Amino acid sequence: MTAAPLALTMGDPAGVGGEIALKAWIKGRGNSSVPAFFIIDDLNRLRSLASNISLDVPLTEVHSPANVIDIFASALPVLHRPLSKESRPGVPDSDNAEAIIAAIETAVSLTLSGEAGAVVTNPINKKVLYDAGFKFPGHTEFLASLAGIGTPPVMMLACPELRVVPVTVHVSLSDAIKTLTTEDIVDIANITARSLEQDFGIAKPRLAIAGLNPHAGEGGGMGDEEQTIVAPAVEALQGLGIDAIGPCPPDTLFHSAARADYDAAICMYHDQALIPIKTLDFENAVNVTLGLPFVRTSPDHGTAFDIAGSGQASEASLLAALIMAADMSYGRRA
């Protein structure tokens, strides 16, 4: 387990982040597999939320992570960051964007200083931040900026049965095909291999590189991107000493026998990666950002404004994100 408590951000206060944090504490306080964590949030908001959805969660304000581990067994530690405006479940408000951003900045700062063991982020709503002048496409790009790294971060989705990494992410399918390059595949696969070694303790990571077209192009009969873009990337990765295979037909890459032959699948576009993992383990999949100088995980779901404040939100993905962050932090230290 991580030697320092984990820093959990508030996410969008109109979403389910507060609710799943409260529920995660209830599940985690007596469970040795769940690491101690503190949430950077508005203390009064959390108190009101717990009361409204009938959750018996004692809350204790902390001013630093120093005493979090001692407090965690009896109360959820809260690093109080007041909202500019009272939030209403399901009603996002850009007036609170400053507090949302500040929570992320604080979590990163405390983790880089070693006071926190990792950053775990609750879901945000990008439009809320954009309306307040936020200049980054999303969480991962903002985190990369805060970390001061010059390379784009890499998104991995992980659950016990599967790890997937999309090369192109939040772009249309037509743009994904147009922008896919050999260099991007190599860079992202290389970062993935290093992270599997560093954070997951896999001495010789095995990567399966998916094709782009049906049946991996059927020898060029269904597209030539496998021959012109993907295969050269596989050769380049092998030249770097990485155990990479492919191009692999995407339709046979994700069944149980195939998954036994690799540690992560490098996918060419968003849905090629996310559909199989969400089908396998929708509630427990975790979003992991690779290539940062600190560990960052997140639940693999959004703000769920439609059920916010109702008490219906599941804490399963957040618990998985907390446990994975602690394991990765331990692996990185080791």
Least confident of 22-26, 29-33, 209-213: 29-33
Supply the pLDDT for residue 238.
98
pLDDT tens-digit readout, 314-323: 999 999 999 9
pLDDT tens-digit readout, 110-168: 999 999 999 999 999 989 999 999 888 778 888 988 988 877 789 999 999 999 999 99
Supply the pLDDT for residue 153.
80
* Two domains, one topology: 6-151+293-333 and 161-278: yes
Supply the pLDDT for residue 2.
53
- Average pLDDT of span 223-247: 96
DSSP letters along 235-263, please? Answer: HHHHHTT-EEEEEEPGGGSSSHHHHTT-S
In this predicted structure, the answer to whether residue 253 has a pLDDT above a threshold of 90 is yes
101 within 8 A of 117, measured Cβ to Cβ: no
Residue spans per domain, the chain: 6-151+293-333, 161-278
- Average pLDDT of span 37-63: 97
Q: Considering the domain 161-278, what is its CATH architecture? A: 3-Layer(aba) Sandwich (3.40)
CA dist., res. 252 & res. 293, Å (int): 35
CA dist., res. 73 & res. 178, Å (int): 52
For residue 221, the tally of other CB atoms under 10 A from its CB is 10
Long-range contacts for 297-301 (Cβ within 8 Å, ≥24 apart)? 297/118, 297/119, 297/120, 297/121, 297/321, 297/322, 297/324, 297/325, 297/328, 298/120, 298/121, 298/122, 298/123, 298/139, 299/20, 299/122, 299/123, 300/157, 301/123
Confidence of residue 48 (pLDDT cuts 50, 70, 90): very high
Superfamily the domain 6-151+293-333 falls into: Isopropylmalate Dehydrogenase (3.40.718.10)
Report the side by side order of strands in the sheet with 6-9. 59-62, 76-80, 37-41, 6-9, 119-120, 296-299, 286-290, 154-159, 162-166, 264-267, 206-210, 243-248
Long-range contacts for 133-136 (Cβ within 8 Å, ≥24 apart)? 134/97, 134/101
The residues facing 296 across adjacent strands are 119, 289
Supply the pLDDT for residue 23.
97
Confidence of residue 246 (pLDDT cuts 50, 70, 90): very high
Encode 275-315 in three state secondary structure. Answer: HHHHHHCCCCCEEEEECCCCCEEEECCCCCCCCCCCCCCCC
Supply the pLDDT for residue 31.
85
How much is the mean pLDDT over the chain?
Answer: 93
Strand, helix or coil for residue 58: coil
Q: Are strands 154-159 and 286-290 parallel, antiparallel or unpaired?
A: antiparallel
